[in-house]
Amino acid sequence: MASKLPNIDNLSLADLNELIAKAQKAIASKKDEAKSGFLAKMRADAAAHGLDLDEILGKGPGGRRQRSDKGVKLKPKYLGPNGEIYTGRGPTPKWLKSLERKGEKREKFLVK
């Protein structure tokens, strides 16, 4: 069976690098085409069943998948000396930062 590929034995290094770059661009283009075609088919199939593909995939606004624990009240992970609460998520609160600057260890305030 004859190969459709060009004979690369006589190509210079610059020509080989150019060929590789062109092949990588072609691969990326083909992948993008396949992905968009597949997504269009999936959206059409979902719409035919009265569904939204983003809803099926669990994506929220902006195309990002929503957290599985969104809206769940978290237990406090750290408790400050004046009753301040920090769940360990998000930016470190000022009360904990100031205590750490004074030399206190964060582990001292862990809720057990």
Residue 85 CB-density burial (10 A; 0-12 exposed, 13-18 middle, 19+ buried): middle
pLDDT for the residue numbered 2: 62
Read off the pLDDT of residues 26-45 as tens digits, 9 standing for 90 and up. Answer: 999 999 999 999 999 999 99
Read off the pLDDT of residues 56-90 as tens digits, 9 standing for 90 and up. Answer: 877 766 666 667 777 788 899 999 999 999 998 88
Q: Which helix (H) or strand (E) covers residue 86, if one does?
A: strand 85-86
* Greatest extent of the chain over all pairs of C-alpha atoms, in Å: 81
CA 28 centroid distance within chain:
20
Tell me the pTM. 0.46
Q: Are 55 and 61 in contact (CB under 8 A)?
A: no
